[in-house]
Structure 1
Amino acid sequence: MEFYLVNPWIANICWVIGSIFFVELVRDIYHLVSHVWSPLYKWHGWHHRVFRPDLTPVSQEIYQKATWYHDVPESLVMLTFSLLLWAITFVWIPSYHWATLAGVVYTLSFLFPAIARATGVPNADQLTDLNHLPGAFSEPPTNWFVNRPYHWRHHFDNQNAYFCGTLSLVDKLMG
């Protein structure tokens, strides 16, 4: 009988959750850097130009360009770092490396829809760009998770705040 300091199931679950949390942090830090480093902001700025205050796109062409210039690169950065995490665990902790692939799969769930939106697949935005859907808000901004009203504040209330995409941890750390 083998003795484990930590139950392998618990360890795997922690690696799965941790890898997803890690790529969310990467996304939020990338977004923050996109606002303070001008070479990235020239591309990220498209993301801010595309929406009116009611979250309707200014035009389909600008929406697609904004997706190519912001959403796809953001997803590629997330993918790069999630693959880096996987490679590190593959080398240093091989018994758990497969669990970190959850971060890769999670990232692909953003990359492929972003490509679909950027290429103009009909209604792709309705299924995959939930924080930018037009219409009345059905709830107030939430505290720990980013919903539409929370994200709206980043576009129209203060573009130098509310950077987070899913979890608001980076915003909380920044004050």
Structure 2
Amino acid sequence: MVVPQPRISALGLDVGNRRIGVAGCDGLGLLATGLGVVHRRSFRQDIAALQSWIDQRQAQILVVGIPLLADGSAGSQARQVKSLMRRMRPALKLPVEYVNERLTTVQASWDLHANGINTHGQKHLIDQQAAAVILQIWLDQMWLDQRRAQPFPPPQPERDPSTSDPPSPECL
């Protein structure tokens, strides 16, 4: 029996000083895709732009990258991102989850170059792809956690079809 999966709509955010990369996922929460960027202007304008993405995608959660240091601790950049999200969260009215975004910009750049996309002078492409990498990390972890919570059913004993009873006449 196939159990229907609940629909999910998450937005991934790569928060920078000049831009916020935005990514979304498919309805099953399997694949993240870069959507665009919000060019940072003022707090109020940033909220309005993000709210537009939230409304358009009917987002249920924000997944925000925070740049942790190599030892896993939060440096000044991570603290700035968390501080900004603490201010934004009441206005956006969505839960926020954080993902370590260390090296996601490098991964995003590699992904784009591997697909033949020249990013020279187009940092917005890297920002939106970094948001997709951040969101994909979260989606993969969510599915892994769900799989661990619902282990495979125990194996059933094998049945030998040659020894089984023939089908009843009602089945024919």
TM-score of the two chains, using structure 2 as the length reference: 0.23
- Structure of greater Rg: 2
Which protein has the bigger strand share?
A: 2
Which protein has the bigger helix share?
A: 1
